[in-house]
């Protein structure tokens, strides 16, 4: 004690009790343990909780991966579970491979990876024939309609498409194209395709969410891919497909190449020559219903069968019948209700819903004085039933729609808004379809939508009389307004632009199969070329190159293509 006191190793408490003083460097201490207690487990309130029962905390994997690997090194997790390992490896700049036999594990991992802001492209291989219905219910709930809607939103988010409402068959919009999402395990049938096409036609030219290209992206499963292949064989078509889980997704960046600015092309900006009228109130008021051409309606009552309908409700996933009911629709009691209904249908048909109030009196006048070949009293019970028939509805809507469609658009005098927007002003954009590296374009790559465009781009590169060309990207925003076969205002985007060695400029359209609106697009492109030539002094022409004709012609230079031009195209 005395020695300890003398050496200063004793400390006394307030009560005088001695305590021996020990220094840390004199103690061997406790060895580092293998149990980490400073990382709490994932609980149900944690923001990172994915609902997977064995999920590990992000902080734990950050410590392990950060301590045991460097950036760009490969991390392998053979039992990835909720996907924390690949998620952390991605965030820390590591390459990674993740595997799991559990179907829910694969989907959970993929979903977490896709939620990362800057996740690099990755491939999910060999998913196998999972129980897709079970996954959908586990992921989105067991309420059929809500489940289907959530599933479509999920797929649209993966596809980077914007969700749309108000359509039955068109679910999203991406890069000016409508998108349809097929159900989880039911194939997209020919009937579905017909419904998609019909709704697409009705959607054309309506509002800010209208499609800007003549096409719909259909996202389907393996059975749909088989249907597409059959359609290609039967109709002699080339349709692009992408099989998720089998085809590797390769995304490249396309943009102007500063080393090839001598291949830059400027396109003049012209003011519109067509515009959709915001109101037709004056034109509707001036309509002469007596001069309208239509068959006289029969004075017969609506069919009794039309007053009853049978309803069956099915689960969209299991196809199990859930509801079966019979309904009776009450007969119209007033003519005004029928007239209002027809006015709404007409306004929707010509895509001018704001003209409902102007249409109501004209529809009433038509039914009262013209539709039946002589004036009638619409307020009688017999006439209320007569104007409620399917035939009366069809004739009334068709007659007014035909009379109004030609009035919806007005022609304007074009003006030169900009002498030339250069393709080099296009911002870089990601692209996952076929590309072609060539020297005669200002872009680093030609962005091709299909194999025919790729072959045509190669032809332009090799043609000795072509000085420069480019595939016009959607991001550049060049479009020509036109009126389709139903008098809707639509926008057409040509495929290519080319400059010949003699200074001539060409808008080029590569065409596979033609629809009813191709002639309207051709006319609009020719009119634009004529106006551009007059307003700029630079010769502009339009040329359509049909795929089959191009294959038979086998041109050696651009001049050979001119045999495909009609007299108005030259």
Could you please report the per-residue DSSP string of 355-371?
GHHHHHHHHHHHHHHTT
- β-strands 489-492, 480-483: how paired? antiparallel
pLDDT at 457: 96
Closest CA to 565 of 550, 539, 545, 548: 545
For range 486-498, the mean pLDDT: 86
- β-strands 540-546, 505-511: how paired? parallel
Task: List, in sequence order, every residue forming a beta bridge with 253; answer none if it has no partner.
Answer: 430
Per-residue pLDDT tens over the stretch 35-57? 888 888 888 788 888 888 889 99
pLDDT at 126: 60
CATH number given to 418-564:
3.40.1350
For residues 406 and 273, the model is more confident at: 273
Per-residue pLDDT tens over the stretch 380-436? 888 888 898 888 889 999 898 888 877 777 788 899 999 899 999 999 988 877 899
Q: 172 — alpha (psi -120 to 50), left (phi > 0) or beta? A: beta
Task: Give 188: exposed, middle or buried? Use CB within 10 Å, 0-12, 13-18, 19+.
Answer: buried
For residues 568 and 437, the model is more confident at: 437
For range 544-556, the mean pLDDT: 92
Question: How sure is the predictor about 525, in pLDDT bands with cuts at 50, 70 and 90?
Answer: very high
pLDDT at 306: 45
Report the range out of 103-112, 166-175, 521-530 with the highest average pLDDT: 521-530
The answer to whether the CB of 132 falls within 8 A of the CB of 185 is yes
Per-residue pLDDT tens over the stretch 338-397? 999 899 988 888 777 778 888 999 999 999 999 998 999 998 888 888 898 888 889 999
For range 555-567, the mean pLDDT: 87
For residue 257, is pLDDT > 70? yes
pLDDT at 203: 65
- Measuring CA to CA, how many Å separate 227 from each of 128, 152, 182? 20, 21, 13
For residue 214, is pLDDT > 60? no
Question: How sure is the predictor about 136, in pLDDT bands with cuts at 50, 70 and 90?
Answer: low
User: Could you tell me the two tokens for 37?
Assistant: 């207690």
Q: Where are the domains of the chain?
A: 132-235, 281-410, 418-564
Q: Which residues of 289-298 are buried (b: 16+ CB within 10 A; e: fewer)?
A: beeeebeebe
What is the pLDDT of the chain when averaged over all its residues? 82
In the Cβ-directed half-sphere of 19, how many Cα atoms lie within 13 Å?
A: 9
pLDDT at 293: 86
For range 74-83, the mean pLDDT: 93
For residue 504, is pLDDT > 90? yes
For range 276-302, the mean pLDDT: 80
pLDDT at 303: 43
The answer to whether the CB of 345 falls within 8 A of the CB of 397 is yes
- Using a pLDDT cut of 90, give the percent of the chain over it: 33
Closest CA to 287 of 401, 208, 403: 403
């Amino acid at each position: 004690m005395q020695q300890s006191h003398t050496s200063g190793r004793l400390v006394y408490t307030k009560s005088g009790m001695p305590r021996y003083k020990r220094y840390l460097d004199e103690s061997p201490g406790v060895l580092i343990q293998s149990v980490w207690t400073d990382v709490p487990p994932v609980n149900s309130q944690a923001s990172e909780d994915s609902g997977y029962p064995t999920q590990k905390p992000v902080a734990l994997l950050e410590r392990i991966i950060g301590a045991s690997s460097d950036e760009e090194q490969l991390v392998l997790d053979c039992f990835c579970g909720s996907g924390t390992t690949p998620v952390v490896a991605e965030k820390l700049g590591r390459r990674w491979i993740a595997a799991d036999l559990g179907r829910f594990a694969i989907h959970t991992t993929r979903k977490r990876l896709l939620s990362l802001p800057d996740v690099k492209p990755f491939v999910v291989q060999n998913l196998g024939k999972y129980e897709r219905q079970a996954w959908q219910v586990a992921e989105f709930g067991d309420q059929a309609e809500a489940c289907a809607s959530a599933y479509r939103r999920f797929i649209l988010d993966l596809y980077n498409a914007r969700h749309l409402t108000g359509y039955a068959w068109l679910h999203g919009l991406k890069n000016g194209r409508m998108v349809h999402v097929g159900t989880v395990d039911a194939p997209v049938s020919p009937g579905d395709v017909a419904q998609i096409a019909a709704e697409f036609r009705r959607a054309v030219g309506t509002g800010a969410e209208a499609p800007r290209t003549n096409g719909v992206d259909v996202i389907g499963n393996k059975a749909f891919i088989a249907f597409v292949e059959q359609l290609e064989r039967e109709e002699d078509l080339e349709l692009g497909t992408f099989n998720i889980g089998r085809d590797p997704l390769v995304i490249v960046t396309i943009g102007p190449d500063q080393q090839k600015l001598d291949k830059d092309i400027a396109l003049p900006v012209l003011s519109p020559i067509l515009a959709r009228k915001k109101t037709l109130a004056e034109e509707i008021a001036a309509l002469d219903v007596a001069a309208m051409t239509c068959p006289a309606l029969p004075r017969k009552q609506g069919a009794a069968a039309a007053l009853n309908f049978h309803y069956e409700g099915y689960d969209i996933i299991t196809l199990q019948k859930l509801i079966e009911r019979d309904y009776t629709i009450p007969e119209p009691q007033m003519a005004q209700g029928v007239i209002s209904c027809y006015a709404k249908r007409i306004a929707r048909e010509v895509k001018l819903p704001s003209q409902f109030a102007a249409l109501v009196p004209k529809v009433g006048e038509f039914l009262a004085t013209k539709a039946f070949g002589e004036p009638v009293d619409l307020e009688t019970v017999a006439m209320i039933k007569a104007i409620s028939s399917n035939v009366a509805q069809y004739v009334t809507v068709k007659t007014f729609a035909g009379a109004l469609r030609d009035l919806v658009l007005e022609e304007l005098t074009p003006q030169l808004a900009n002498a030339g927007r250069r393709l080099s002003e296009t911002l870089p954009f990601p692209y996952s379809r076929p590309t072609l590296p060539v020297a005669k374009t200002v872009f680093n790559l030609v962005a091709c939508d299909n194999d025919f465009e790729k072959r045509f781009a190669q032809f332009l590169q090799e043609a000795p009389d072509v000085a420069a060309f480019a595939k016009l990207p959607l991001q550049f925003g060049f479009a020509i307004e036109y009126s389709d076969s139903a008098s809707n205002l639509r926008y057409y985007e040509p495929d290519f632009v080319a400059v010949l060695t003699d200074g001539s400029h060409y808008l080029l359209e590569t065409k596979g199969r033609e629809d009813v609106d191709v002639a309207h697009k051709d006319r609009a492109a020719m009119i634009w070329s004529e106006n551009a030539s007059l307003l700029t002094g630079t010769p502009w022409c339009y040329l359509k190159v049909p795929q089959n004709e191009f294959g038979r012609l086998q041109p050696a230079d651009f001049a050979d293509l001119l045999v495909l031009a009609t007299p108005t195209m030259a």
